Amino acid sequence: MPPRCNGAAPVLCWGEKGGAPVIFVRPDFYDGFQCIASRCRHSCCVGWEIDIDPEALARWREIGGAFGAQLRQNIALDPAPHFLLAEGERCPLLRPDGLCELILREGEDSLCDICASHSRFYQQYPDRLEAGLGLCCEEAVRLLLAETGPLRLIADGDEGDVLSPTPLLLRREELFGILADERESLSERMARCLALYGRSLPVFDVRASAAFLLTLERMDESWTALLRRLAQEGSARLEPRLSEGPFGRLTAYFLYRHFAAGEEAEAPARLAFACWSARLLCALSAITPPEDAVRLFSAEIEYSDENVEKILNWLG
């Protein structure tokens, strides 16, 4: 669910600790996001089960007329309220022109939480609320890749009343600093990051990575086809493409989303995951546009806790 914000500057968002203000943190491209609706080629209203929160369900019970009846007919209540998908796994409210019938009739405020917040994600820490955009969304990918230079974080809030950052957040700041030093190649920066945990940067094995990913759960046939193609055609010679492309920003963004979200004992594996993910996407971008590779990777990997866990174990 999106944070409750006061709409003024600086932006203060309230967490779960008695309404105390915390710092609201997000990446440099976050504020520019707006759903592109009918212009989206990979609608989030297709292929996903859409759960409905109790507040939205209660609001929709008050909508009258033929549309209200149609809306409620397309909702199943068990095992939890959700939409009954139409042909092609489309949301029943998604029109042929790619627009949402509910928004057109009742306004954006009528949406359920999951539709109102997608593709945003939130992570609560003791001193901050961090937000980001899921890269399964093509517009989020476009915004991330459109920027050049190191990833920057934007923070608003009352810094005088917050707690100290956790050790993982402090270490993540250190890793961000290393990744931002563009005097070195990205591989050298990755190696410096891993060295903080006594690890070295392994040779990237394209075929082994593709073969392993083919053992995981997959949803989209396009992802399966891309992995099979990578196993046959992919090259492990990533430099200088790794340093010259957007893969430094991607490494930092994977760190931002995943590094501090787990236990401290998982930190080395989550760092390795960020580095490996960026190198995989660099290899994939040689055979498909990077925007498509990032979107598919995020949908198939980042949005599956099981797949992420298996990769963390595989990376050791």
Q: What is the pLDDT of residues 127-160, one digit of tens each?
A: 889 999 999 999 999 999 998 899 999 998 765 5
From 128, 146, 161, give the residue that closes a domain.
161
pTM of the model: 0.85
pLDDT given for residue 316 in this prediction: 81
Regarding whether 122 and 109 lie in a shared domain, the answer is: no
Is 8 inside a domain boundary? no
Q: Is residue 255 part of a domain?
A: yes
**Chain-centre distance of CA 207, in angstroms?**
25
> Is the pLDDT at 50 greater than 70, yes or no?
yes
Would residue 198 count as lying in a domain? yes
Query: In terms of domains, do 109 and 188 share one?
Result: no
Q: How far is CA 123 from each of CA 24, 25, 71, 127, 281, rounded to the nearest angstrom? A: 10, 10, 32, 11, 25
Asked whether residue 187 falls in the same domain as residue 267, the answer is yes
Residue 2 lies in a domain: no
| pLDDT of 164 strictly over 80 | no
Residues 175 and 281 grouped into a single domain: yes
Domain span including residue 300: 167-315
191 or 47, which is more confident? 191
In this structure, are 175 and 310 located in the same domain? yes
Residue 160: predicted pLDDT: 52
Which residues, at least 6 apart from 160, have a Cβ–Cβ distance to it below 8 Å?
A: none
Residue 73 identity (one-letter amino acid): Q
* Together in a domain, 21 and 149: yes
Q: Are residues 71 and 99 both part of a single domain? A: yes
Same domain? 202 vs 279: yes
What is the token pair recorded at 192? 């410096």
Average pLDDT over residues 57-63: 93
CB distance 267 to 286 below 8 Å: no
| Domain final residue, candidates 126, 161, 196 | 161
Is residue 189 pLDDT above 60, yes or no? yes
In a domain, 108, yes or no: yes
Residue 130 falls within a domain, yes or no? yes
Whether 122 and 239 map to the same domain: the answer is no
Q: Is residue 277 part of a domain?
A: yes
Tell whether 90 and 200 lie within a shared domain.
no
The tokens of 128 are what?
Answer: 């901050």
Strand partners, 122: 131
Question: Rounded to an integer, what distance in angstroms lies between the CA atom of residue 256 and that of residue 250?
Answer: 10
Say yes or no: 142 and 227 in one domain: no
Rounded CA gap, 206 and 236, in Å? 6
Split into its structural domains, the chain has a count of: 3
On the question of pLDDT at 5 being above 50, the answer is no
The answer to the question of residue 4 being in a domain is: no
Same domain for 29 and 142?
A: yes
Question: Mapping DSSP to helix (H, G, I), strand (E, B) and coil, where does residue 61 land?
Answer: coil
